[in-house]
């Protein structure tokens, strides 16, 4: 019986730690940063519910976490992003924060090349973790 109680305590602590790590950033701060993204991106649920209106220059950011890179149906990705998508990469907080800091440099480093342009020209100098937390909070 003592083992079960101890394992339950460990599981509870582990689950608590996972929950806090999933949202390392501040979702409210990320929502405030949305103004930097909305000219190109929207957040629309699969059922058509619009969470944040925005442009269509960039892909829909709903459900980005765990989604294969370059896989938004109906969106035309740059050749550089298509090449990166072919590696099988999946969006994580770490990849997202590196990518939005400097999309061209990120893709060049990931692909081991020094030419080509990402479709995204905007750089998010700070707050990427907050934006990720916001996208996670509205996608669940």
Indicate the burial class of 88 (C-beta count within 10 angstroms; 0-12, 13-18, 19 or more): exposed
pTM assigned to the model = 0.80
What are the tens digits of pLDDT across the range 4-54?
Answer: 333 333 333 333 333 444 557 999 999 999 999 999 999 999 999 999 999
Q: Exposure pattern of 2-36 as b/e (b: 16+ CB <10 Å)?
A: eeeeeeeeeeeeeeeeeeeeebebbbeebbebbeb
| Domains of the chain and any CATH numbers | 25-138 (1.10.760.10)
> To the nearest whole number, what is the mean pLDDT of the chain?
86
Q: Determine the pLDDT at residue 23.
A: 56
């Amino acid at each position: 019986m003592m083992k079960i109680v101890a394992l339950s305590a460990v599981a509870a602590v582990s689950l608590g730690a996972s929950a806090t790590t999933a949202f390392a950033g501040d979702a409210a701060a990320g929502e405030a940063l949305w103004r930097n993204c909305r000219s190109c991106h929207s957040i629309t649920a699969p059922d058509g519910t619009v969470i944040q209106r925005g442009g269509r220059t960039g892909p829909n950011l709903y459900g980005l976490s765990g989604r294969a890179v370059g896989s938004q149906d109906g969106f035309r990705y740059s050749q550089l992003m298509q090449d990166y998508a072919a590696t099988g990469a999946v969006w994580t907080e770490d990849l997202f924060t590196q990518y939005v800091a400097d999309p061209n440099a990120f893709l060049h480093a990931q692909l081991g090349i020094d030419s080509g342009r990402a479709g995204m020209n905007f750089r998010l100098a700070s707050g990427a973790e907050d934006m990720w937390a916001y996208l996670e909070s509205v996608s669940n």
